Structures are given as C-alpha cells and as structure tokens.
C-alpha cells in the first residue's frame, strides 16, 4: 500500500454558488486507514514545534548538559509510564499495538544506542543535549532506513520510533508543552498536521468521530492504532490543515480516504446514508460471528485463519475462525542470529494452541527460501548459496530434508504440543511423493525417540499434510494423496509457478492471475484426487479469502477455506447466501472456459450478484 502523501492535485474545490463570502465545499483525498464514516465539526489542533536551534556548549558545561539530558530522560520515562497505565482502558487490539511500542520507547530511554550516542556527542562534539539527541536520532534513523529489507513499512516504523523518542526528549529539554487532546469536543473530527501513536492512544473512540491528518501513511503505528481503536481515519491528506476551519462541518470516509470540508447538502445526505449503511454492515458482520458457515441447502464449510505472528491471535478469536488452517512458522526464524531450539518453538506453539482452546491448529513447518525473507541467512538456516534461481532452488521442504535437524526440532516441538490441543503438520513446497515419504520417516523417527524418552506422544500421530503449491504437486496429486493425510492448496505459489510469474515482482504483476485456466485446472485436479480418497483438502492462499471466489471454490468441491482472519465475516456472508448445486453448476461453466478474460468476467459478475444479495 502506498504510504506517501496523497497527491495535492486531488484537492477539488467545488464552488457552491457565487455567494461571495460563503465558505465553499472542499474535497480532499488522503490515505484511508481506518474504515467508517464521520460527520461532525472540525477540531484542529496543532502542536507547536519545539524551539531547539543547534547549539554548542563550552567544555565546562559538559557535565551539566549530561545532567540535563538525564532529567529529560527521567521525565520522558514518567510520561510513557503514564501512557502505559492508560492501556487497560483501551480496546484489546489497541493494547496489543501500543504495549510493545511503549516498551520499545522505554528501552530507548534506558541504556540505548540513542542515549549512549547523545552523551558521546555532548562530550566529544560539545553539543547541547537537544542537538546531540537530534543528531544521534537522525544518524540511527538513516542507518535503519538504509537497510536492505523488503519490509519498508517496518523500517519506516522503526526509524519513526527513534525520531519520536528524540522529539519527546527535545520537548522536555526545551520545556515545550505537549498538546492536550482532552479538550477535543464530543463528536468532533480531529484535524492535525500529524498524530503520533502516543497521541492516538489518548483518544477516546467513544467521543471522537474521526481523525484526519496531513502526514502519515497506512502502515505506521498511528494508522494501526486508529484501526485498532475503530476511529474512522484518513491520514496523509495534503492541504487539509490549510483549508480546515475549527467548528466548520466536515465529513470523512475512512474507507475511501475522502474528507469533505464544509459539505454541501448533497455531500451531507450521501454521508448520512453511508453512515447508516456502514452501521448496518458492521452489525451484520458482528452477528455473523456466531452464525455457522452453512449454505442455504445446509452444506457446512470450515472457515479457518492463516496466522503469521502470534499478535494476530485476538483477531482470530474476534473473527469467529474455526481454527488455524495455516500457521506460517517463519516468524520464529526471522530477525534473530541463532536458530530457535525445540524448547523455544514449543513455547510459541503452546501459546497458540492454548489460545485456540480446542480448535485445530495446522502448523506448517519452516517454508524458507525463494521470495521469503532471507534475513536469517546469517543464522545458518539458508544455504550459503541459494542458487541462480532461488524460487526453484533449495527452499521449502527441500531445504528441510537437506537439513533434517531443522525438521526434527520442529516435529519434536509440534508432537510435544499435541497433548495441549488438536494439531496437524503441513509440509511446504512439495513436488514429489517421495519427499512426503521421507518427511514422514523423519516424523515417525522423532515420535519414537520422544516416546523412548517418556514424552506423552499421542498414539495416532497428528496428520501430516502436503501443500499443493507447485504444478508438479498438483499434477501428481493422486500419487501424493497416497502419502499425505490432507492437502492444503497454496494458490499464491501455485499461480506463481504455473504462470512463471514472480508473485513479488511488480513488473509482471499484470500477468499474475490465480483465475487463469491453467491454475484452476490444477486446483481441480488436486481437489478431485483428494476427494476420491475422502481426504481433507483446503485452500489457504489469498484466493480463499476472496468472497467473490467462494461460488467457484465451493463448486470445485472445496469445503475448507483458510484466510486472513479479517476476511472471514465476508466470506461467511457469501457462503450463507449460496446453494451448493448452483455453485457446482457455476464451476462447471467456468471450467469449460479456456480464455482467462472470460473466466475473470464470469467470476466477477457472479461475485457482484453475490455482493448485492
């Protein structure tokens, strides 16, 4: 998603009538970050920047300056402590977002590189404390931003955290007051140049109608916080503060990114309708949580969640998922210099399995390599030589079979967690039945070893399944089905390998089409191979979370979908409006086609019918 500011050209002024002094309706487009409609008076509040010109000190002032810095640190720690004590009144999601952030702030106010560097600059460069803090923070932020990492948003966030602490220290060093958000009147739309995550934490979602700012993007902490708080918000709206007048009426749409200042009658009416529709939709989706995913003719569909990091667990519970259909374990191996051992893995799996309270958890063993983050190369996971074409090289299950100690530790941790709740194991990037056989031999050997040690391993080992995400696996699905206990169709990689289109390469993104007949035929072949043996088969790629594709997937015989938790309510809504025999008929029609464009048309028009129903 774009995180830069929206184009200023998107500001459109619509003169009401030539009435001279009357304020005009202005439409500004920013980045939609938290859905919902807000209608209310503007309350603009800007924070005076701290006056902190670059300053040098005399040699004799070094100790006093370091003391001044120490005092600002103590004050900043107190302020963060106060914010922490507010956490318990925030919604759970907001707490989950803010707590680690505040912990990171507290760490930066301890024996951190920022403070060590600032003290050094006071001593060596004879800089005033605020100048030293700002210089050091900028130096650190530059290093962070120069890192080679595909997660640009993550790097921006980390650099932002350092700058935020520097900003707080500078305000405290210069005794510049922080803005107070307490006086924002009830029902108002808060308009500001910028909002920090700490500011966002002070907002009361029950009182504030919406938030619109000039700065900020969709992936920052502030955006995540606003989403978690459920406050309709638009960030990065260029030209906003210049045009907004306190007390004037405004309308904000957090789903489209539009902010209308001084809306005319038409815009106001439209916003009121959208507000009512949004409220109805929200109530409907919330009600769906407790309703079963069952078609109109009584066919049950299992809806599960994909999990990338444990922080998503509360979302899974809220979405009403019936278990985890794909636990990507790569998170355990990222951003560290050593390998997580069996105990560390056991602790992570235990947390997840216990949180799922009896619902099944499908744990996919490490899927390393290819386009996946290679950050841990230093840890020795990745081969020293990834080959000329990493997507086709030593990755996924191939890598694990070459490094069986990785697989053994993971199997052992999963087998040990099995007594805490139902688990299954999933093998990534299978191409060959022999690979599944080899993995199973290792699996059974690990189970025997654990039993010899007296570990309570279940008599019937948890099921061992295969990802169907290569054309080879799909076309050999009948043979692989004899070796595996279940299939999970990974449509993301299946589309990539079938069409020879890198899923992460924007230059060829227009060719990446999971609805391409070649992909659909492979899915159909694999699904039928599983169904003939009455073997469970699910779809866990992005296709599984698209409500428009539900009729096709059900029609192909799929009865289990695993997706991003947030997609579950809409997919469930689609399922509850469908009849299985209609879906089967529809799938037959689609599968008769060989033109990708015709398939797109068919599927999308069916999806639209579904959305209107």
DSSP 8-state code for residue 138: H
Residue 492 binds to ligand PEP (criterion: CB under 6 A): yes
Which residues make Cβ contacts (< 8 Å) with residue 233, sequence separation at least 6? 32, 33, 34, 210, 211, 212, 223, 226, 227, 252, 254
Residue 379 binds to ligand PEP (criterion: CB under 6 A): no
- Integer CA distances (angstroms), 127 to 75, 261, 291, 295, 484, in order: 21, 45, 64, 70, 66
Binding mask 387-426 for Mg ion (x = CB under 5 A): ----------------------------------------
Helix (H/G/I), strand (E/B), else coil: 562: strand
229 touches 205 (CB < 8 A):
yes
560 has catalytic annotation: no
Residue 367 binds to ligand PEP (criterion: CB under 6 A): yes
561 touches 314 (CB < 8 A):
no
How many residues in the chain? 613
Q: Which of 162, 540, 560, 574 binds ligand PEP (CB under 6 A)?
A: 540
Q: Nearer to ligand PEP by C-beta: 159 or 394?
A: 394
Which residue from 315, 280, 285, 288 is spatially nearest to 37, judged by alpha carbons?
A: 280
Q: Which of 65, 96, 214, 493 binds ligand PEP (CB under 6 A)?
A: 493
The CA-to-CA distance between both ends of the chain, in Å, stands at: 30
The residue range among 140-148, 404-412, 484-492, 517-525 that interacts with ligand PEP, by the rule CB under 6 A, is: 484-492
Residue 375 binds to ligand PEP (criterion: CB under 6 A): no
The site that binds Mg ion (CB under 5 A) totals a number of residues, namely 3
Residue 491 contact, options ligand PEP, Mg ion, none, Cβ 5-8 Å cut-off depending on partner type: ligand PEP
The residue range among 457-465, 483-491, 501-509, 601-609 that interacts with Mg ion, by the rule CB under 5 A, is: 483-491
The site that binds ligand PEP (CB under 6 A) totals a number of residues, namely 10
424 DSSP β-pair partners? 362
Q: Is 12 exposed, middle or buried (0-12, 13-18, 19+ CB in 10 A)?
A: exposed
Q: Is 413 exposed, middle or buried (0-12, 13-18, 19+ CB in 10 A)?
A: buried
Q: Which of 136, 253, 375, 469 binds ligand PEP (CB under 6 A)?
A: 469
Binding mask 493-522 for Mg ion (x = CB under 5 A): x-----------------------------
* Cα separation, 562 vs 322, whole angstroms: 9
CB of 372 to ligand PEP, least distance (A): 7
300 has catalytic annotation: no
Residue 365 binds to ligand PEP (criterion: CB under 6 A): no
Q: Which of 221, 516, 560, 583 is catalytic?
A: 221
Helix (H/G/I), strand (E/B), else coil: 508: helix
Residue 328 binds to ligand PEP (criterion: CB under 6 A): yes
Q: Nearer to Mg ion by C-beta: 469 or 483?
A: 469
Q: Nearer to ligand PEP by C-beta: 237 or 326?
A: 326
- Integer CA distances (angstroms), 156 to 130, 147, 264, in order: 23, 11, 38
Q: Nearer to ligand PEP by C-beta: 171 or 503?
A: 503
The residue range among 149-157, 222-230, 488-496, 522-530 that interacts with Mg ion, by the rule CB under 5 A, is: 488-496
Residue 312 binds to ligand PEP (criterion: CB under 6 A): no
Q: Which of 136, 214, 253, 469 binds Mg ion (CB under 5 A)?
A: 469
Residue 513 contact, options ligand PEP, Mg ion, none, Cβ 5-8 Å cut-off depending on partner type: none
Helix (H/G/I), strand (E/B), else coil: 338: coil
Q: Nearer to Mg ion by C-beta: 306 or 573?
A: 306
DSSP 8-state code for residue 127: B
CB of 488 to ligand PEP, least distance (A): 7
* Cα separation, 412 vs 33, whole angstroms: 41
The residue range among 177-185, 206-214, 397-405, 487-495 that interacts with ligand PEP, by the rule CB under 6 A, is: 487-495
User: What number of other Cβ atoms are within 10 A of residue 23's Cβ?
Assistant: 13
Phi then psi for 375, rounded to 5 degrees?
-55, -35
Chain centroid to Cα 285, Å, comes to: 20
Helix (H/G/I), strand (E/B), else coil: 242: helix
Residue 542 binds to Mg ion (criterion: CB under 5 A): no
Catalytic center residues: 221, 540
What is the binding site for ligand PEP (CB under 6 A)? 326, 328, 367, 469, 490-493, 540-541
What is the binding site for Mg ion (CB under 5 A)? 469, 490, 493
């Amino acid at each position: 998603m774009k995180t830069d500011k929206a184009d200023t050209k998107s500001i459109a002024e619509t003169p009401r009538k030539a009435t001279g002094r009357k304020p005009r309706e202005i439409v500004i487009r920013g980045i939609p970050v938290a859905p919902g409609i807000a209608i209310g008076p503007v309350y603009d509040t800007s924070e005076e920047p701290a006056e902190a010109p670059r300053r040098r000190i005399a040699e004799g002032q070094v100790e006093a300056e370091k003391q001044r810095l120490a005092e600002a640190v103590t004050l900043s720690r107190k302020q963060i402590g106060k914010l922490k004590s507010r956490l318990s009144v925030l919604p759970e999601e907001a707490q989950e977002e803010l707590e680690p952030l505040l912990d990171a702030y507290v760490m930066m106010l301890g024996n951190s590189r920022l403070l060590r560097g600032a003290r050094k600059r006071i001593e060596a460069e004879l800089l005033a404390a605020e100048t030293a803090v700002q210089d050091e923070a900028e130096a650190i932020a530059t290093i962070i931003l120069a890192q080679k990492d595909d997660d640009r948003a993550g790097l921006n966030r980390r650099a932002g955290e350092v700058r935020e602490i520097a900003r707080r220290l500078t305000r405290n060093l210069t005794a510049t007051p922080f803005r107070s958000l307490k006086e924002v009147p009830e029902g108002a739309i808060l308009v500001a140049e910028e909002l920090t995550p700490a500011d966002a934490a002070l907002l009361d979602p029950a009182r504030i109608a919406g938030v619109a700012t000039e700065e900020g993007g969709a992936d920052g902490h502030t955006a995540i916080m606003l989403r978690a708080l459920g406050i309709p918000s638009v960030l990065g709206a260029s030209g906003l503060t210049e045009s907004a007048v306190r007390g004037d009426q405004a309308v904000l749409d957090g789903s489209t990114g539009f902010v209308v200042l001084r809306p005319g009658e038409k815009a106001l009416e439209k916003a009121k309708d959208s507000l009512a529709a949004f409220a109805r939709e929200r109530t409907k989706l919330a009600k769906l949580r407790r309703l079963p995913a069952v078609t109109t003719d009584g066919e049950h569909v299992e809806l599960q969640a994909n999990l990338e990091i444990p922080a998503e667990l509360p979302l899974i519970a809220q979405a009403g998922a019936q278990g985890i259909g794909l636990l990507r374990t790569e998170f355990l191996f990222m951003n560290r210099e050593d390998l997580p051992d069996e105990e560390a893995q056991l602790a992570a799996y235990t947390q997840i399995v216990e949180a799922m309270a009896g619902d099944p958890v499908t744990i996919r063993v490490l899927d390393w390599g290819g386009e996946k983050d290679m950050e841990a190369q230093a840890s020795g996971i990745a081969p020293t030589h990834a080959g000329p074409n990493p997507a086709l090289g030593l990755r996924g299950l191939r890598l694990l079979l070459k490094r069986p100690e990785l697989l053994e530790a993971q199997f052992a941790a999963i087998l040990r967690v099995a007594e805490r709740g139902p688990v299954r194991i999933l093998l990534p990037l299978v191409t060959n039945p022999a690979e599944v056989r080899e993995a199973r031999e290792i699996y059974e050997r690990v189970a025997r070893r654990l039993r010899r040690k007296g570990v309570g391993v279940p008599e019937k080992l948890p099921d061992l399944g295969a990802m169907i995400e290569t054309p080879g696996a799909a076309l050999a699905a009948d043979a692989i089905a004899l070796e595996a206990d279940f299939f999970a169709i990974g449509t993301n990689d299946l589309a990539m390998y079938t069409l020879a289109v890198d899923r992460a390469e924007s230059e060829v993104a227009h060719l990446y089409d999971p609805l391409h007949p070649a992909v659909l035929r492979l899915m159909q072949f694999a699904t039928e191979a599983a169904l003939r043996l009455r073997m469970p088969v699910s779809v866990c790629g992005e296709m599984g979370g698209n409500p428009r594709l539900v009729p096709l997937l059900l029609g192909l015989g799929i009865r289990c979908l695993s997706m991003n938790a947030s997609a579950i309510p809409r997919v469930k809504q689609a399922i509850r409006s469908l009849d299985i025999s209609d879906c089967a008929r529809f799938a037959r029609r689609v599968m008769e086609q060989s033109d990708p464009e015709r398939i797109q048309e068919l599927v999308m028009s069916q999806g639209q019918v579904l959305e209107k129903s």
